[in-house]
Amino acid sequence: MGRSTTMSDANVRIPEEAKDRLAAIAAAEGLSLRAYLARLAETLLTPGERAERAEKALAALKEWNGYAPTAAEEQDLDSELDRRLAQVTSR
């Protein structure tokens, strides 16, 4: 997969506070805001990409050890994960 070395600029309107926060995070990592946002865009997954990875992971688990949760089991696991994340983020 070759990448183009030329980039076109885009203007994105966000609240000033959000821009300042992103710029501070970028600076703390030794990056310009432009470089930080480009790196962020390359590393974040779309919902479709996340779903594809989840499907591949489930297929690998099933092939490896027979793990094949039912829809109800998946829902229970999702609910448990949501509960635990809520506990951690409310601290």
Question: Is residue 83, in this structure, part of any structural domain at all?
Answer: yes
Question: Is residue 41, in this structure, part of any structural domain at all?
Answer: no
> For the segment 72-84, what is each residue's pLDDT rounded down to a tens digit?
999 999 999 999 9
* Number of domains forming the structure of the chain: 1
> For the segment 27-61, what is each residue's pLDDT rounded down to a tens digit?
999 999 999 999 999 999 999 999 999 999 999 99
Range of the domain at 79: 47-89
Question: Is residue 66, in this structure, part of any structural domain at all?
Answer: yes
Question: Is residue 74, in this structure, part of any structural domain at all?
Answer: yes
Which band of pLDDT confidence, cut at 50, 70 and 90, is reported for residue 22? very high
Which band of pLDDT confidence, cut at 50, 70 and 90, is reported for residue 90? confident
Only one residue has tokens 């997954």, namely 45
Burial 7-25 (b: 16+ CB within 10 A, else e): eeeeeeeeeeeeeeeeeee
Question: Is residue 38, in this structure, part of any structural domain at all?
Answer: no
Question: Is residue 6, in this structure, part of any structural domain at all?
Answer: no
Which band of pLDDT confidence, cut at 50, 70 and 90, is reported for residue 8? confident
Question: Is residue 84, in this structure, part of any structural domain at all?
Answer: yes
